């Protein structure tokens, strides 16, 4: 408290100085708080070739980030994608994504084609043990294929579906049987993406193009039967 008795002019000046000092401290604190908040804020870029995120101007890697109601996993290279709902599943997708080249502006189906090509090129078909189809079996199966690089239709289907889901596509793993040109049916697994078939069983030979990438055909069951002679029997959908 300032005693202004007999010293009005001086007292007014001192009071103004005190008020200004208080305002400066308050504003300075608010500015500093705002700056700290800005630096701590996670900035997500959805418009590049890959989804990326930064915090304190450092790229986020090997972490989950929630952004606008959605949860993303960022790989060891800082490439982000929608979580598939399981850490092993996310790590399996991250391995494929980190070994895939995208271009800016690519549509989801084009990205899936690139991811699928990486799966086929990085992994080799092998008569491994058929997985037990327990709850959420596809996370472990997809992760195993990304690590061992060896698997059969069930493994390929699991990892392909996880990659499709990481792009926000509606994908399902189908367990059933397949036959070509009225030959005997074989036990098989494949993927549907937006109700169209994506199947490693015939993609490489019957649906190849003139590029160095594996064939990639998203077609309806009717089209697959008409163009390639394949028929399917569905037993389970995951």
Question: What contacts 140, CB < 8 A, 6 or more positions away?
Answer: 88, 131
Is residue 156 pLDDT above 50, yes or no? yes
- Give the residue range(s) of CATH 3.10.620 domains in the chain: 85-237
User: Do residues 74 and 80 make contact, with C-beta atoms less than 8 angstroms apart?
Assistant: yes
- What confidence tens digit (pLDDT) does each residue in 109-152 have? 999 999 999 999 999 989 889 999 988 999 999 999 999 999 99
Residue 179 has what pLDDT? 87
Candidates 3.10.620, 3.10.450, 1.20.140, 3.30.70; CATH matching 85-237: 3.10.620
Give the count of alpha carbons within 13 A of 83, CB side only.
16
Q: How many other CB atoms are found less than 10 A from the CB of residue 6? A: 7
Distance CA 161, CA 96 (A): 12
């Amino acid at each position: 408290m300032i005693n202004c008795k007999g010293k009005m002019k001086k007292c007014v000046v001192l009071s103004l100085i005190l008020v200004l000092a208080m305002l400066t401290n308050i504003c300075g604190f608010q500015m500093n708080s705002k700056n700290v908040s800005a630096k701590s804020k996670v900035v997500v870029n959805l418009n590049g070739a890959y989804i990326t995120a930064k915090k304190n101007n450092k790229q986020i890697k090997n972490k989950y980030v929630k952004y606008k109601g959605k949860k993303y996993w960022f790989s060891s290279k800082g490439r982000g994608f929608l979580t598939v709902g399981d850490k092993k599943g996310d790590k399996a997708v991250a391995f494929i994504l980190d070994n895939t080249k995208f271009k800016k502006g690519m549509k989801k189906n084009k990205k899936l084609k690139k991811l699928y090509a990486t799966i086929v090129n990085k992994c080799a078909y092998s008569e491994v043990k058929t997985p037990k189809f327990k709850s959420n079996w596809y996370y472990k199966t997809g992760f195993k294929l990304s690590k061992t690089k060896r698997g059969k239709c069930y493994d390929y289907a699991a990892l392909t579906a996880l990659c499709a889901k990481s792009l926000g596509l509606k994908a399902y793993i189908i367990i059933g049987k397949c036959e070509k040109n009225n030959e005997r049916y074989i036990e098989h697994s494949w993927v549907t993406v937006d109700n169209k078939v994506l199947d490693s069983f015939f993609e490489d030979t019957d649906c190849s193009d003139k590029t160095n990438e594996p064939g990639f055909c998203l077609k309806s069951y009717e089209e697959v039967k008409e163009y390639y002679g394949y028929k399917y029997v569905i037993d389970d959908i995951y």
